[in-house]
Structure 1
Amino acid sequence: MLLDPDKTISRPELFDFHGVSMTHYFTDNWEAVQNFPARPDDILIATYPKAGESRNETVVTRLKRWDHQAPSSSGTTWVSCILDLLYFGQTSPERQTSIPIHERVPFLEIFAPSVALVGTDQAEKLPTTPRLIKTHFPVQFVPKSFWEQNCRMVYVARNAKDNMVSYFHFDRMVKVQPEAGDWKDYFQRFIKGKMVFGSWYDHVSGWWKKKQTYSNIHYMFFEDLVEDTGREIDKLCSFLGLSPSAEVKKQITGEVQFDTMKKNSMANYSTFPAMDFKISPFMRKGKVGDWKNHFTVAQNEEFDEDYRKKMKDSTLQFRSEI
């Protein structure tokens, strides 16, 4: 039985870990994570963390100019549900209504044993083939066995502005993250890369560069998923070598729409012990471009100038609106 998270999880401090900002919840089990025995048919779902789905109503009242709809996640939960349905939706449909997504797709590096969250243990005990495993690691932290076994990996990237806004709201309600603080300070911290799992720029660019030499990475964009979920599921199936019927694809597309997932207690993280739902729910409404309701004109100008410098040599292209 899970213990009361109020008594067993405390906000961590950020520290430098092999050149990346991290917290102890993701480094305390480092040796076991790095020695994790991947299998050739494992599928690793990787994203930069995380994007919060909502905000506290007190904050909304105080900052009335902000829009009521916060963006959804960076795509981790979304793609996890899609993959779970593609592989097991027809053969084991009861999974969708009986096992939370964070157990079906465990978080490899999480280590909070006081609330029974040890990602390596959960992943090793998965009964499924393939095993679906998620990570927020920058590419250089991925355990070597995943590369040695030539595992398939699905990376989902989201535009930096929406990711920053979403991460801010997420940090406010999840207890394994440092305190978010106020928006102005958070904005500067994001630009400087002082975030758990490091710089957004390093993360998305590192995985993009690795894709050029490792063919088993499928690089997806959150904005593309919002724009045409069915099209992106088709691309994912092509990468995975799956051929579901048109009827099954239509069914999956319907089941992973935001409103459907929001109501599903097995997908909306309402059973996850490290989140404070008194502050906000995990999911509200998916949206691209919500950053416009948060960035001041001055912040937007500062961000764009910094972005151009950091991404000037990259072939990676993002859309901050659709």
Structure 2
Amino acid sequence: MEPEGRPKLFDFQGVSMINYFTDNWEKVQDFRARPDDILIATYPKAGTTWVSCILDLLYFGKDMPERQTTLPIYERVPFLEIAVPQIDKGTELADQLSTSPRLIKTHLPVQLIPKGFWEQNCRMVYVARNAKDNAVSYFHFDRMNMVQPEPGDWNSYIEKFMEGKTVFGPWYDHVTGWWEKKQTYSNILYMFYEDLIEDTGREMERLCSFLGLSTTAEERESIRGGVQFDAMKANPMANYSTIPVMDFKISPFMRKGKVGDWKNHFTVAQNEKFDEHYKQRMKNSSLAFRTEI
């Protein structure tokens, strides 16, 4: 069942948002976090589902293998702020989780994270992806997801992206906000999509070390195989094909999962303009990204 028409962006506490992420706001903000909750945070289209699947396998793959084949990832790792008609609200799904720890995902910028997560000193895994590939991925996602605003053509979309007129606000503020928070809150592991692509095994070791998980090399290798892009893209429990609001005829939810695909989209002029704007927006940050590996 598709909601009527595409949602419109509006300013919400200084961030571009749509009603599907603010309609349940009171319950989101009052969400009762537990000390062992693990929050997976990203700007949209930066590897959220990938890291969610990795964590789900690390914690529950061995003892509860049936989860992987019977429950879609959005039920195993609820999306906290989502409130779309006909689909269970994220807060309700998270409250219903029987697992310990609970794995919960969010796209909220750091300043909008419910205070319960900080008060309980929860561990958080943040994944950041370079702006160019992130913009391309978000564009294709907005094309196929009927509960996102209409993206228009690529040329106008890249302008919107630079202006921060995309859902969850400017990419620049999101990645730097979490990066700065990490300097004062030690329970954030800040990861890069490009590092995950380059060496998934190495990054899984970082995750295990951060979470205090002991896994064997064999277990990690088995998980690495299960979370390869093509395996996840073909897996209906991971690829969001069971969600009615996404039109896979336009584009799959998991499209390419590559580093450097931006080169197939940006014109020379767009790239120069983007680089100039990027330099301005990121000049005060120590955060560095790779746009190719």
| TM-score category, normalised to shorter length | over 0.9
| SS class of match (2:184) | coil
In 1: Cα distance, 2:252 partner to 2:198 partner:
24
| SS class of match (2:191) | strand
In 2: Cα distance, 1:242 partner to 1:161 partner:
33
Corresponding residue for residue 50 of structure 2: 78
Question: In 2 relative to 1, CA 238–9 (structure 1 residues): closer, same or farther, beyond 3 Å?
Answer: farther
**Is 2:109 the counterpart of 1:138?**
yes
- The 5-angstrom pairing of residues 133-212 of structure 1 reads 133-212=104-183
In 2: Cα distance, 1:166 partner to 1:172 partner:
10
CA contact (8 A) 1:14 1:21 kept: yes
Offset at 1:162?
0.4
Offset at 1:9?
4.9
CA contact (8 A) 1:109 1:120 kept: yes
The amino acid across from 1:32 in the alignment is K
Which of 93, 96, 106 aligns to 2:68? It is 96
**Is 2:205 the counterpart of 1:234?**
yes
| SS class of match (1:32) | helix
Corresponding residue for residue 252 of structure 1: 223
> Normalized against structure 1, the TM-score is what?
0.90
In 1: Cα distance, 2:9 partner to 2:22 partner:
11
In 1: Cα distance, 2:251 partner to 2:88 partner:
21
Offset at 1:263?
1.3
**Is 2:18 the counterpart of 1:23?**
yes
| SS class of match (2:16) | strand
User: Any idea what the Cα deviations from partners look like across 1:259-293, whole Å, max 9, x if unmatched?
Assistant: 11111110111112221123222123321001111
Structure number with higher relative contact order (C-alpha < 8 Å, ≥ 6 residues apart): 1
Moved over 4 A (4+): none
The amino acid across from 2:118 in the alignment is W
**Identity across matched positions, percent:** 73
Question: In 2 relative to 1, CA 261–9 (structure 1 residues): closer, same or farther, beyond 3 Å?
Answer: farther
In 1: Cα distance, 2:106 partner to 2:254 partner:
20
What is the RMSD computed on CA atoms of the aligned residues? 0.9
In structure 1, runs of 5+ residues without a counterpart are 51-73
Number of aligned residues: 293
In structure 2, runs of 5+ residues without a counterpart are none
In 1: Cα distance, 2:41 partner to 2:83 partner:
17
In 2: Cα distance, 1:302 partner to 1:146 partner:
38
**Is 2:38 the counterpart of 1:38?**
no
> Normalized against structure 2, the TM-score is what?
0.98
| SS class of match (2:189) | strand
